[in-house]
């Protein structure tokens, strides 16, 4: 039991660095690692992925606050893009949490792995778009926010996997896209957590202590370290070249996606 709590603390430290470095909220690492920790604790398989996603969303509230503040000090956040994306983000993320609550663990794990493969491939080999520096119109931005929110809730992340490419498509610099994605992670996390808490209420068999699909011991262990390490990641993000950031981002997605697919089919 002590070992699993140590895992939560170490996981929080790593998630914080990744939140600041890549604007991903750490969920890409938190979700699969929580799967491993929950298996060690003999959680019912039917609830493992849902609790991992809900707990990941809850921790992102704190990692996004910490990394957002660090990027704010560098004056790197595009606040106009943040304000325009937020309404769609909120509705989409809550909807995504509801959809996740009615899907099986196997389906959610498969979706998680395939989605990460797709995004990693786009990051490494996708053609660079040539749009203007202007964001789309109100309807387009709302739709983009909905899409980012839905997918973020289904895979338990802070939205960087879609927010960063979207803002890059709008010709924002990589550093600005990462910083803004870190800020967008806050409304994603708040709406997603609400969705997983509400949809998990009354579900039988979830190990306690928990609130809906949020497992409290994992939540506390992760946030205790992630808020301390997120500023380190943010500082690193402003010192690395763009090409290296993209390679780190894509390779991480491939590794995590492979792990999730392996757990479902092997």
Check whether 128 has a pLDDT greater than 60: no
Tens digit of each residue's pLDDT (9 = 90 or more) over 216-265:
989 998 888 877 787 777 777 777 775 677 677 788 778 878 877 887 87
Q: Which residues, in sequence order, are bridge partners of residue 165?
A: none
Q: How many domains does the chain have?
A: 1
Burial of 194 (0-12, 13-18, 19+ CB in 10 A): middle
| pTM score, whole prediction | 0.82
Check whether 113 has a pLDDT greater than 80: yes
Give the span between the Cα atoms of 37 and 176, in whole angstroms: 34
Tens digit of each residue's pLDDT (9 = 90 or more) over 132-190:
556 778 888 999 999 999 988 988 887 777 888 888 888 888 788 888 988 998 999 99
Q: Domain residues for 257? A: 2-265
Tens digit of each residue's pLDDT (9 = 90 or more) over 8-32:
888 888 877 776 676 555 677 788 8
User: First CA to last CA across the chain, in angstroms?
Assistant: 27
Q: Given its phi and psi angles, is residue 172 left (phi above 0), alpha (psi -120 to 50 degrees) or beta? A: beta
pLDDT for residue 64:
81
Helix %, strand %, coil % for the chain, to 5? 80, 0, 20
Q: What is the DSSP string of 97-165?
A: HHHHHTS-HHHHHHHHHHHHHHHHHHHHHPPPP---SS---HHHHHHHHHHHHHHHHHHTS-SHHHHHH
Check whether 80 has a pLDDT greater than 70: yes
Give the span between the Cα atoms of 122 and 61, in whole angstroms: 27
pLDDT for residue 1:
59
Which of the pair, 117 or 20, is modelled with greater confidence?
117
SS3 256: helix
Cα 241 versus chain centre, distance: 23
Tens digit of each residue's pLDDT (9 = 90 or more) over 84-103:
999 999 999 999 999 999 99
Give the span between the Cα atoms of 176 and 74, in whole angstroms: 10
Tens digit of each residue's pLDDT (9 = 90 or more) over 50-62:
999 999 999 888 8
């Amino acid at each position: 039991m002590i070992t699993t709590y140590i895992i939560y603390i170490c996981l929080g430290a790593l998630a914080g660095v990744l939140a600041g470095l890549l604007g991903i909220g750490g969920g890409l690492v938190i979700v699969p690692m929580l799967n491993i920790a929950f298996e060690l604790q003999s959680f019912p398989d039917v609830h493992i992925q849902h609790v991992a996603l809900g707990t990941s969303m809850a921790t992102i509230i704190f990692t996004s606050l910490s990394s957002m503040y660090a990027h704010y000090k560098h004056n790197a956040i595009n606040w106009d893009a943040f304000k325009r994306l937020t309404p769609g983000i909120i509705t989409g993320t809550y909807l995504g949490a509801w959809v996740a609550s009615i899907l099986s663990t196997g389906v959610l794990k498969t979706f998680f792995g395939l989605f990460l493969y797709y995004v990693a491939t786009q990051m490494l080999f996708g053609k660079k778009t040539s749009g203007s520096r202007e964001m789309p119109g109100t309807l387009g931005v709302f739709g983009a926010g909905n899409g980012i929110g839905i997918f973020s809730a289904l895979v338990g992340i802070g939205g960087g996997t879609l927010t960063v490419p979207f803002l890059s498509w709008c010709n924002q610099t990589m550093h600005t896209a990462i910083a803004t994605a870190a800020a967008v992670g806050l409304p994603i996390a708040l709406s997603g957590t609400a969705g997983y808490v509400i949809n998990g209420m009354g579900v039988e068999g979830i190990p306690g202590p928990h609130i809906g699909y949020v497992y409290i011991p994992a939540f506390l262990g992760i946030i205790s370290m992630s808020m301390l390490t997120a500023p380190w990641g943010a500082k690193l993000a402003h010192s690395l070249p763009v090409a290296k950031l993209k390679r780190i981002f894509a390779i991480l997605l491939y590794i995590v996606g492979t792990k999730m697919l392996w757990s479902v089919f092997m």
